[in-house]
A and B are shown apart, each in its own frame.
Chain A
């Protein structure tokens, strides 16, 4: 009876109190541990997936010796790397040399704090008013659904649902450059230094295109808060009235299509370049620079670089999933899809991003350095800028045409301020 009224037919929800524990208060703190645990635990899995998928694409067997289907291979590699000899080169800048791997790992882990998953809590009592917690959808309506003798409350499940979520992720990913740059400098090795220099130039070049492609979505969503960006995708495709409700919040209403296709391509290219993965892995190009900035690193420090790389891949894929691919929304607003809880969809979409990484790595050759810079500065950046103006124009025309409600209320508020 009531379920028809729920957004995307949500059937997965938690009680408000689990014994004496107030879940909406406690779960964000649990999420801190969950994110760190998830990222660190899933890295061996990702490496296994990468090796298997690449073997599949290159028509070879891949890992198949340790454990069933080679599942324990990365675990064995992990144990091996723990026990490797740790070599400290003679003329390194010791403090910075030790700090660099940590700097690559920490921002990647902290950036995961704002990625949203929606949780629904069943709250006893007729109408609960928790405006600080309740989500507001794109039309300004709060998700607060009466359900039997209580109501269902939608709460963004993040560690910190900050107002500047998207900027926070960008800030963290821009800090990531330091790890690579400092590793290259402190190793006191020409190859490392060249790797670090390449990494910093590459990061700065592609950050611009990435930021502009995300700005396109910010214009459409009207917020920097990631859960609001996801909720702004929970509409009929392009906001056209009269389409069947199966399409509400479906794959066609997500921002990959809503921003007319180009920003998601730009973002995807930029995110691969930001994480220094093939075909943009020039900072560690083995044919030219041995291992680039990682040349002088051994044992666990080397492993931490890898962890940082995979954690960054997870974070930027998570941002891609939340911003362009509907976050926790199911692909179609109909029974078998909506029965699956939101975080499963979110993780599936992140894994799709990881698949893309592996796919591109095994199919594309590495770029030459000048073509890398050409692509970033002369192709992606102007295209992203053009698309930003295009979408801004569309949005302006639409707002003027419909005399949108939030704009009007802003105007009146400003008028009372300045009278």
Chain B
């Protein structure tokens, strides 16, 4: 068992406990903090999968920006009192339990029917456009630098790649959301 596996198993347990605690605690601030812990664990998982860039972005965007804003709002509304979060129960709770059970069942059924490949075949990687098509190499391990900024940038932005247009489309979507938020905020003032 190598170091990566040991780190993974420890953090897997930590992240599962943290996420369970996140949904079960009545204290809004604690719940947010456990969500941060889960995000940090996931960032380490990304690093273990050699996706360094996504790990850093995960920490900066989710743990660093979004959750700080969450905490900001929680504090501003002063939800420190546990009874403030009492659910009304009823319809929503029942539906969410149903959907949760369905989701877990779907997950397990995929897990039982599918066998995961630890090493991708060359044709898989070619389909993902990560390596040149080479039939002489039936099985390749993912290259070390697959998650670096350079690799991601080259594949996202180079004109010969198919992902430039969806990427720009996504950024326009975000821009629309930003402008919409400003307009909504201005109308209320």
Question: Which A residues are in CB contact (< 8 Å) with B131?
Answer: 417
Please tell me if the beta carbons of B68 and A163 are within 8 angstroms of each other in the complex: no
- Write the chain B residue with the least CB distance to A415: B160
Proximity string of chain A (380-419) to chain B, C-beta cutoff 8 Å, 1 when within and 0 when not: 0000000000000000000000000000001101111111
Task: Select the stretch in A61-69, A197-205, A341-349, A351-359 that faces chain B.
Answer: A197-205
Docked CA distance A168–B72 (Å)? 23
Please tell me if the beta carbons of B64 and A175 are within 8 angstroms of each other in the complex: yes
Q: Interface of chain A, helix or strand or loop or mixed?
A: helix
**B179 contacts A by Cβ under 8 Å:** no
Please tell me if the beta carbons of A417 and B132 are within 8 angstroms of each other in the complex: yes
Please tell me if the beta carbons of A201 and B72 are within 8 angstroms of each other in the complex: yes
Please tell me if the beta carbons of B56 and A171 are within 8 angstroms of each other in the complex: yes
Question: Which of B56, B65, B158 interacts with A168 by CB under 8 Å?
Answer: B56
Question: Which B residues are in CB contact (< 8 Å) with A174?
Answer: 59-60, 63-65, 68
- Write the chain A residue with the least CB distance to B67: A178
Proximity string of chain B (104-137) to chain A, C-beta cutoff 8 Å, 1 when within and 0 when not: 0000000000000000000000000111110000
Please tell me if the beta carbons of A204 and B68 are within 8 angstroms of each other in the complex: yes
Interface centre among A177, A201, A411 (most CB of B within 10 A): A177
Please tell me if the beta carbons of A204 and B154 are within 8 angstroms of each other in the complex: no
Q: Interface of chain B, helix or strand or loop or mixed?
A: helix
Please tell me if the beta carbons of B161 and A418 are within 8 angstroms of each other in the complex: yes
Please tell me if the beta carbons of B33 and A96 are within 8 angstroms of each other in the complex: yes
Please tell me if the beta carbons of B132 and A177 are within 8 angstroms of each other in the complex: no
Question: Which A residues are in CB contact (< 8 Å) with B53?
Answer: 163-164, 167
Interface range for A: 35 or more
- Distance to closest chain A CB from B127 (angstroms): 12
- Distance to closest chain A CB from B186 (angstroms): 15
Please tell me if the beta carbons of A418 and B68 are within 8 angstroms of each other in the complex: no
- Distance to closest chain A CB from B86 (angstroms): 19
- Distance to closest chain B CB from A246 (angstroms): 33
A residues sitting closer than 8 Å to B (CB atoms) are 93, 96, 162-164, 167-168, 170-171, 174-175, 177-178, 181-182, 184-185, 188, 193, 196-197, 200-201, 203-204, 207, 224, 410-411, 413-419
B residues sitting closer than 8 Å to A (CB atoms) are 29-30, 33, 36, 52-53, 55-57, 59-60, 63-65, 68-69, 71-72, 75-76, 80, 129-133, 145, 148-150, 154-155, 158, 160-161
Given A182-B33, A197-B76, list of 13 further CB < 8 A pairs? A162-B52, A163-B148, A167-B149, A170-B60, A174-B59, A174-B60, A174-B65, A184-B75, A185-B71, A203-B68, A204-B69, A410-B154, A414-B154
